[in-house]
Structure 1
């Protein structure tokens, strides 16, 4: 076998031998000074051979001080933080994914909210209750003890609340429109719930009548005609006009305080002024909650505020409030002849009770053009009823008929008188004075107990004998 003795190899071998003799450290293991790979490495380190001339089987450089005979020790050690880095990367990826999901959820919520607002805005144009809510102006009095009491009391009967709302559906649009035209708070549209439960034919023991419960004197003062054949207090349109006129006048009188205005609507402005003057002289507050008003008036305003709270948030009180179309439910026509409303309803094929209830101001079911030429019709039947009314011949003049009946019954009406209760009166004294009994007085006045108060008017049956004791 021929040995390769090139000049470079001989030179490198000679240099390594000299360095080993003097004990200097080398880049080559002293055990194999003639190894071809070791010589080639040394030549590269001394700059004799170019680094580009590397062999494919070149190993990783290991310093002499760290080189061992164990091949496993010469490998690269395992990184102890690799698992931690992988865990952090996975956590960051999970966070990014959760963040993207939250962004998508927020976008969906914003889209749903925008759709809901758009739907509510569209519904507000079709649901009359939204117009009522938007016009509320009173302060929040729901934490007042009496308001809380009546709110709990009314909310125990959700069916009753729904019945009241259904009964108001014929008149609510008309009332809200008039309130908006006058720029008055729409809480006043709930006042007939307290007064009459939105009944046109409601009557009280004090002589008040109609949806807004006008007593005869106040009704005449605000232009409501009252005759034997026609009572404008029972006409929903005429009574609404008069009631809002009265409330506006009271509001100006009490300098914009609507609670005092409502109290005066119930018990009279003079009584409220008297209680205000009394509190002012004693250095007390003069707001509604501080006045010593009659018991009925103390309950009157809290009842209205309780209705407001329930109708503003019906779901909180388990009330499923049906929507009322934001369009007129009634129509008014002019008729200049007496019309029998029962015959008109029969000819048009419409329930007579509905037509008579809407026109309850005509006490005998026959219109009286000398007092009012307006007839209220359900809008859905207005066309048929108008044609039927036009085709009917004029009815008999009910005013002359009732005048004759009144003349005949005048003797019967004289069997009763009125007694105004004064301070110190009781039922026994009143019965003794008028020669009657306590039981009869209570029956005529529909009283359950014996309690009376000054100013109350009692119906007394006349007797053949009278006591002057």
Structure 2
């Protein structure tokens, strides 16, 4: 209905498209740290068979259970659960388990109504906990903190928040860079479970050094140290629970932050008593060691994966931080492999012959410019110049460029393919006075179906234009839908617009183009974005 309403506005006012706020949905909650700032290809014929490998690594949906504010709807606790909740555990840092209403609610939430979700988190955590425990021990941090990713991401390295925080530890881009992680068009080390763990350890140490209290340090990890400093100053309190229990002080912290510490304490209570609560115990044996291998600049990573006997998705299971099928041209990166794959990897890297599976070879045509090629393939001009060793912006016809492939086809080229196919089977010619709405009523199909079947991104029609009118339930319509869906491949993030945002700054934050964001959300370049609006972004 929102889609049709938008069409109505367009026809009624003949103005530029306005962005209407979509229906509220639940997302992984904001990680608003202090000062946080907030394609790609036309496959040549020989690489058509690789399309299936270009899909974004399958991942768990962003679970609302990470950020839920549970209500007291669950059944009463069982006697053994009451016993666990009442136990005074020996904690690994000065953190008494304050008995709060919120702690009990989260305890019931994860042991009752969302028990299956918590079981999935435990299974997911198994791959990372031994490593995290080793790092935190080396860094002199309390062992209890190794369970913090349960509260942050459910131990999902692919998790994105609606504000753009990412990874197990939910770093914002600015904060990630502050702690030595690389976040750019090529790679996103927030999604590197190993490097991001060292960054999280460093950040937690700094927060504890500032506040001298783990409750406040944890609250600062969630809200940002500036928010906690300000709240303490205004409330004149000196500890987390007095800050949250006094109703007058609650306005200084968001509900998410006030509940963050009790939620984490409830998770600690559960993981310390898994067997008593009927969960499978954690296996603390070291997981198989991942070998680290240095990859030279501009390495064809798709060909590298194929040399290991893997497809692209399998490679990214081990290396979720990689965003492109080519390694960055400005330096080496480290990838992770099972030990048994190291020899194959070295043999590939020692080959002298240049491979191009991860590149597109493009011959410059008359009228081309770096800007048009950049727009067509979703690759920044600076990247095109760097990878092709171009000293200026001049291009000559017939010059051969190599363009790094991303994880999904350029939306413009997919739509062009759909339009070509629609023209071949066109069965209707647009007449004077026709609109998509009138045609949809005439043939009893939806406007959305007409646009999908014909690769249309706007509702404008011209007299004499050929259209394909599909049968609503027909196979051709389904095929058309699948074609258009290709440019949506990637990890869907629901981003909530903040004050000062525009399409360009949001695109830069997520490593996509502003035109992609506009297309995904039916926006124009001059559409108005308002704080609180929600945008769909498909992150590579």
TM-score bin, normalised by smaller chain: 0.5 to 0.7
Residues 251-281 of structure 1 deviation map (CA, whole Å, 9 limit, x = unaligned): 11112x111111111111111001111221x
Q: Does 2:223 correspond to 1:267?
A: yes
Instruction: State the match for 1:154 in structure 2.
Output: 110
- Structural RMSD (CA): 4.0
Q: Does 2:321 correspond to 1:361?
A: yes
User: Is the alpha carbon distance of 1:253 and 1:355 closer, same or farther for their aligned partners in structure 2, counting shifts above 3 Å?
Assistant: same
Q: Does 2:129 correspond to 1:172?
A: yes
- For the residues of structure 1 that align with 2:202 and 2:161, how far apart are their CA atoms? 22
Instruction: State the match for 1:348 in structure 2.
Output: 308
- The answer to whether the 8 A contact 2:144-2:268 is kept is yes
Q: Does 2:232 correspond to 1:276?
A: yes
Return the offset for 1:248.
Answer: 1.0
User: Is the alpha carbon distance of 1:393 and 1:318 closer, same or farther for their aligned partners in structure 2, counting shifts above 3 Å?
Assistant: farther
- For the residues of structure 1 that align with 2:123 and 2:350, how far apart are their CA atoms? 31
Instruction: State the match for 1:419 in structure 2.
Output: none
- For the residues of structure 1 that align with 2:331 and 2:257, how far apart are their CA atoms? 34
- For the residues of structure 1 that align with 2:528 and 2:342, how far apart are their CA atoms? 57
* Mapping 1:162-201, distance limit 5 Å: 162-201=119-158
Instruction: State the match for 1:290 in structure 2.
Output: 243
- For the residues of structure 1 that align with 2:122 and 2:339, how far apart are their CA atoms? 19
Q: Does 2:267 correspond to 1:314?
A: no
User: Is the alpha carbon distance of 1:236 and 1:465 closer, same or farther for their aligned partners in structure 2, counting shifts above 3 Å?
Assistant: closer
User: Is the alpha carbon distance of 1:241 and 1:135 closer, same or farther for their aligned partners in structure 2, counting shifts above 3 Å?
Assistant: farther
User: Is the alpha carbon distance of 1:456 and 1:300 closer, same or farther for their aligned partners in structure 2, counting shifts above 3 Å?
Assistant: farther
* Mapping 1:4-43, distance limit 5 Å: none
Asked which structure has the greater RCO (Cα within 8 Å, sep 6+), the reply is 2
User: Is the alpha carbon distance of 1:456 and 1:200 closer, same or farther for their aligned partners in structure 2, counting shifts above 3 Å?
Assistant: farther
Instruction: State the match for 1:374 in structure 2.
Output: 334
* Mapping 1:442-453, distance limit 5 Å: 446=494
Residues 385-443 of structure 1 deviation map (CA, whole Å, 9 limit, x = unaligned): 55555559555597999x97654458999xxxxxxxxxxxxxxxxxxxxxxxxxxxxxx
Q: Which has the larger radius of gyration?
A: 1
Q: Which residue among 240, 243, 253 is the counterpart of 2:197?
A: 240
- The answer to whether the 8 A contact 1:142-1:306 is kept is no
Return the offset for 1:141.
Answer: 1.1
- For the residues of structure 1 that align with 2:210 and 2:119, how far apart are their CA atoms? 35
- The answer to whether the 8 A contact 1:335-1:373 is kept is yes
- The answer to whether the 8 A contact 2:211-2:217 is kept is yes
Instruction: State the match for 1:40 in structure 2.
Output: none
- For the residues of structure 1 that align with 2:91 and 2:310, how far apart are their CA atoms? 35
SS at match of 1:333: strand
- The answer to whether the 8 A contact 1:229-1:399 is kept is no
Gapped regions of structure 1 (runs ≥ 5): 1-132, 414-443
- For the residues of structure 1 that align with 2:137 and 2:345, how far apart are their CA atoms? 30
* Mapping 1:421-432, distance limit 5 Å: none
Instruction: State the match for 1:217 in structure 2.
Output: 174
Return the offset for 1:348.
Answer: 2.7
User: Is the alpha carbon distance of 1:180 and 1:446 closer, same or farther for their aligned partners in structure 2, counting shifts above 3 Å?
Assistant: closer
User: Is the alpha carbon distance of 1:359 and 1:260 closer, same or farther for their aligned partners in structure 2, counting shifts above 3 Å?
Assistant: same
SS at match of 1:315: coil
SS at match of 1:317: coil
Return the offset for 1:186.
Answer: 1.7
- The answer to whether the 8 A contact 2:274-2:281 is kept is yes
- The answer to whether the 8 A contact 1:247-1:265 is kept is yes
Return the offset for 1:220.
Answer: 2.0
Return the offset for 1:362.
Answer: 1.6
Report which of the two has the higher share of helix.
Answer: 1
- For the residues of structure 1 that align with 2:502 and 2:270, how far apart are their CA atoms? 36
Return the offset for 1:205.
Answer: 0.9
- For the residues of structure 2 that align with 1:354 and 1:377, how far apart are their CA atoms? 11
User: Is the alpha carbon distance of 1:330 and 1:209 closer, same or farther for their aligned partners in structure 2, counting shifts above 3 Å?
Assistant: same
- For the residues of structure 1 that align with 2:347 and 2:119, how far apart are their CA atoms? 34
- The answer to whether the 8 A contact 2:218-2:261 is kept is yes
User: Is the alpha carbon distance of 1:399 and 1:239 closer, same or farther for their aligned partners in structure 2, counting shifts above 3 Å?
Assistant: farther
- The answer to whether the 8 A contact 1:368-1:399 is kept is no
User: Is the alpha carbon distance of 1:164 and 1:341 closer, same or farther for their aligned partners in structure 2, counting shifts above 3 Å?
Assistant: farther
User: Is the alpha carbon distance of 1:172 and 1:378 closer, same or farther for their aligned partners in structure 2, counting shifts above 3 Å?
Assistant: farther
Return the offset for 1:286.
Answer: 3.0
Query: What TM-score does the superposition give when structure 2 sets the normalisation length?
Result: 0.48
User: Is the alpha carbon distance of 1:383 and 1:399 closer, same or farther for their aligned partners in structure 2, counting shifts above 3 Å?
Assistant: closer
- The answer to whether the 8 A contact 2:303-2:355 is kept is no
* Count of aligned positions: 297
Instruction: State the match for 2:263 in structure 1.
Output: 303
